[in-house]
């Protein structure tokens, strides 16, 4: 275990059963847009071209009307995935893209360390599952593709992970610094610092029979990587050897060359794209929906890469395009020439990346998180401006992973999985603690405070009658007495916590694993802890489960 308390080290392997227990968990959240979208309400579906769960046949027929540069795409993907040591299953899938009937299910994320938070892993699993389901349903090749957002430059989002240390969440950040705002794909990996970071990460784990193999495999991924994207891709392939997952780096120069004409389309249509997105966001906000996207009508929604390869966000100024902070000024003709001659000097932002993805790949469906669904609601007009339809946007699967130990603790402390995932254990922990003494401590002190107020009331009245000028002093006196009573209560509670230290640690353990920082597990942890506990087999078994419906918003997966 990763808690440094009275638990013994695990010396034997944990074997997973053939059938995992997967339980649907309703989430308590208040995102009205996502709720309306999942329920396929017409009010929000008007902002999309397809329903999320039942539009694949119609979508496939629409794809058949489009043309794609399949031969060139296969060539680039082959070279890219081979460079990352892709398994044979991936290379076979890439070849299938040459088939004019083939389509892809795609989703993406930034290149986080050790795959980044578990939601990235859950998104990959979602893409693989949906591709498999739709290949069986449509009887055509459906290839699972994960779009690595290597063109993103927010280094602070990917340079860390969370571990547990001294029964607290610890943000474990690599010491490699990055000042220039480069795409993550262009940031060279400091292997020495990253290896130190990896070793320290393992020191926060408790050794199991899987630890040595896991460390060696991750170290090998690191040693063979050049950039953060390389490291991410190699880790993903370690996790998914047999599923035929295809990776694509959005910042790859060969991909950019394929996108040359598509960049020109976006440049030619930048005004209707920007105006449509801006107007749609205003409309959505007027209808009460929160959209995580700040835009202006003059946004070009493209980045220009300067001589230092730093990304500069472009805006329209009269008929020219200028940097957000006036770093560069380009005419439309110059920008079109860059798209033709040196497309690697351009990259997409959050608005144009979906458009580029659509023009580049025969996309049957896009697998998205809640945040992505929220801002994709503003993009329908942008897709239409470049002559495309928005693909079905399918909510990704969401999982909380529950170990055998956590199952036992939940039973022992009488906490339901649904409650632990949605609310955590802080309230139930204090209620339990207060109920351990007779009479209950909280009730006793509450009654003592009432009695104190009753005893003090005649004194206040007496003081008020004799000398009204010091009546405020009597109120202060009561306040001091209450503070002393509160102090005594805190000391009693502290003594109780010490007396019941082990149950308190167990409540805390449940909280830290199932409701860390007040959010879902998948938003905080990487897969590292679960790989250390169970090896790689749990991911394979989860991929093999027959029925996990996309319509359900969350699942608890019991790894026991």
Q: For residue 17, is it within any domain? A: no
Query: Does the structure show a pLDDT above 50 at 9?
Result: no
CA distance 542 to 97: 26
How do the residues of the chain divide into helix, strand and coil, expressed in percent and rounded to 5? 50, 15, 35
pLDDT of the residue at 184: 82
Burial class (CB in 10 A: 0-12, 13-18, 19+), 469: exposed
CA distance 415 to 438: 23
Strand partners, 322: 315, 329
Task: Answer yes or no: are the C-beta atoms of 538 and 129 closer than 8 Å.
Answer: no
H or E segment to which residue 322 belongs: strand 320-323
Q: For residue 208, is it within any domain? A: no
Task: Answer yes or no: are the C-beta atoms of 514 and 402 closer than 8 Å.
Answer: yes
Query: Does the structure show a pLDDT above 60 at 181?
Result: yes
Instruction: Give mean pLDDT, residues 283-300.
Output: 92
CA distance 180 to 182: 6
Task: Answer yes or no: are the C-beta atoms of 63 and 248 closer than 8 Å.
Answer: no
Instruction: At 161, give phi and psi (nearest 5°).
Output: -150, 170
pLDDT of the residue at 440: 65
The tens digit of pLDDT for each residue in 413-457 reads 999 999 999 999 988 888 887 787 655 677 778 878 877 887 788
Per DSSP, the three-state class of 49 is: coil
Instruction: At 364, give phi and psi (nearest 5°).
Output: -75, -40
- Which residues, at least 6 apart from 199, have a Cβ–Cβ distance to it below 8 Å? none
pLDDT-above-90 percentage for the chain = 71
Strand partners, 399: 555
Within 10 angstroms of residue 380's Cβ, the number of other Cβ atoms is 18
Within 10 angstroms of residue 461's Cβ, the number of other Cβ atoms is 12
CA atoms within 13 A on the CB side of 266: 31
Distances (CA, A) of 126 to 131, 196, 398, 507: 8, 32, 9, 31
- Which residues, at least 6 apart from 409, have a Cβ–Cβ distance to it below 8 Å? 415, 506, 509, 510
Per DSSP, the three-state class of 395 is: strand
H or E segment to which residue 399 belongs: strand 399-403
CA distance 34 to 53: 14
Query: Does the structure show a pLDDT above 60 at 7?
Result: no
Pick from 33, 120, 108: nearest CA to 378 = 33
Distances (CA, A) of 13 to 9, 463, 529: 12, 74, 14
Q: For residue 492, is it within any domain? A: yes
Q: Does the pTM exceed 0.95?
A: no
Q: What is the mean pLDDT of the chain?
A: 89
Query: Does the structure show a pLDDT above 90 at 381?
Result: yes
Q: Return left, alpha or beta for 162; rule: phi > 0 is left, psi -120 to 50 is alpha, else beta.
A: beta
Q: For residue 277, is it within any domain? A: no
Instruction: Give mean pLDDT, residues 11-35.
Output: 72
Query: Does the structure show a pLDDT above 60 at 14?
Result: no
The tens digit of pLDDT for each residue in 127-169 reads 999 999 999 999 999 999 999 987 777 888 888 999 988 888 9
Distances (CA, A) of 381 to 205, 280, 488: 49, 8, 64
Residue burial 37-52, b: 16+ Cβ < 10 Å; e: rest: bbeeeeebbebbbbbb
pLDDT of the residue at 468: 67
Q: For residue 4, is it within any domain? A: no
- Residue-range definition of the domain harbouring residue 516: 403-532
Query: Does the structure show a pLDDT above 60 at 2?
Result: no
Q: Count the helices and strands in the chain (H runs, E runs).
A: 24, 15
Q: For residue 518, is it within any domain? A: yes
Query: Does the structure show a pLDDT above 70 at 72?
Result: yes
Q: For residue 485, is it within any domain? A: yes
Query: Does the structure show a pLDDT above 70 at 16?
Result: no
Instruction: Give mean pLDDT, residues 118-130.
Output: 97
Q: For residue 441, is it within any domain? A: yes
pLDDT of the residue at 13: 36
Query: Does the structure show a pLDDT above 60 at 3?
Result: no
Number of folded domains in the chain?
A: 1
Angle at CA of residue 235, ends 229 and 241, nearest 5°: 125
pLDDT of the residue at 64: 94
Alpha helix ranges (H) inside 304-424: 332-341, 352-360, 370-376, 380-385, 404-412, 417-422
Locate 180 and state its tokens.
Answer: 């220039």
Task: Answer yes or no: are the C-beta atoms of 496 and 433 closer than 8 Å.
Answer: yes
E-state strands within 96-141: 103-109
């Amino acid at each position: 275990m990763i808690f440094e308390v009275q638990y013994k080290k695990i010396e034997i392997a944990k074997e997973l059963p053939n059938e995992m227990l997967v339980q649907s968990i309703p989430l308590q959240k208040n995102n009205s847009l996502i709720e309306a979208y999942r329920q396929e309400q017409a009010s929000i579906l008007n902002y999309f071209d397809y329903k999320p769960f039942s539009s694949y046949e119609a979508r496939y027929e629409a794809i058949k009307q489009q043309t794609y540069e399949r031969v060139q795409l296969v060539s680039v993907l082959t070279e890219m995935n081979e460079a990352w040591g892709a398994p044979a299953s991936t290379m076979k899938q890439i070849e299938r893209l040459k088939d004019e009937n083939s389509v892809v299910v795609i989703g993406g994320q930034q290149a986080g360390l050790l795959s980044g938070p578990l939601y990235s892993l859950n998104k990959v699993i979602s893409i693989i599952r949906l591709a498999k389901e739709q290949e069986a349903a449509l009887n055509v090749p459906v290839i699972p593709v994960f779009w690595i957002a290597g063109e993103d430059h927010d280094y602070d989002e990917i340079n860390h992970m969370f571990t547990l240390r001294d029964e607290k969440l610890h943000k474990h950040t690599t010491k490699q610094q990055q000042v220039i705002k480069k795409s993550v794909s262009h940031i060279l990996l400091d292997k020495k610092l990253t290896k130190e970071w990896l070793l320290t990460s393992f020191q926060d784990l408790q050794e199991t029979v899987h630890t040595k193999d896991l460390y060696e495999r991750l170290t090998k991924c690191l040693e063979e990587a050049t950039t953060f994207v390389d490291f991410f891709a190699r880790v993903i392939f370690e996790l998914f050897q047999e599923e035929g997952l295809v990776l694509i780096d959005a910042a790859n120069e060969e991909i950019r060359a394929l996108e040359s004409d598509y960049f020109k389309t976006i440049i030619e249509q930048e005004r209707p794209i920007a105006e449509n997105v801006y107007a749609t966001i205003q409309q959505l906000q007027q209808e009460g929906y929160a959209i995580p996207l700040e835009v202006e009508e003059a946004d070009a929604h493209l980045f220009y890469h300067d001589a230092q390869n730093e990304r500069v966000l472009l805006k329209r100024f009269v008929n020219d395009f200028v940097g957000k902070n006036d770093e560069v000024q380009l005419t439309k003709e110059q920008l079109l020439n860059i798209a033709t001659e040196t497309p690697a000097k351009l990259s997409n932002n959050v608005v144009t990346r979906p458009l580029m993805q659509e023009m580049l790949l025969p996309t049957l469906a896009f697998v998205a998180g809640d945040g992505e669904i929220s801002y994709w609601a503003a993009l329908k007009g942008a897709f239409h401006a470049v002559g495309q339809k928005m693909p079905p946007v399918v909510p990704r699967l969401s999982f909380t992973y529950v170990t055998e130990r956590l199952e036992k603790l939940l039973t022992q402390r009488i906490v339901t999985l649904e409650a632990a995932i949605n609310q955590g254990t802080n309230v139930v922990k204090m209620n339990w603690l207060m109920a351990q003494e007779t009479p209950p401590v909280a009730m006793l002190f509450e009654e003592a405070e009432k009695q104190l107020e009753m005893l003090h009331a005649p004194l206040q009245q007496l003081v008020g009658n004799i000398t009204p000028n010091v009546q405020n002093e009597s109120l202060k006196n009561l306040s001091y007495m209450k503070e002393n009573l509160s102090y005594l209560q805190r000391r009693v509670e502290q003594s109780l916590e010490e007396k019941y230290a082990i149950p308190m640690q167990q409540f805390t353990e449940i909280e830290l694993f199932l409701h860390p920082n007040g959010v879902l597990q998948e938003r905080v942890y990487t897969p590292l802890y679960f790989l250390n506990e169970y090896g790689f087999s749990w991911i394979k078994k989860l991929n093999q489960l027959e029925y996990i419906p996309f319509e359900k918003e969350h699942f608890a997966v019991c790894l026991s």
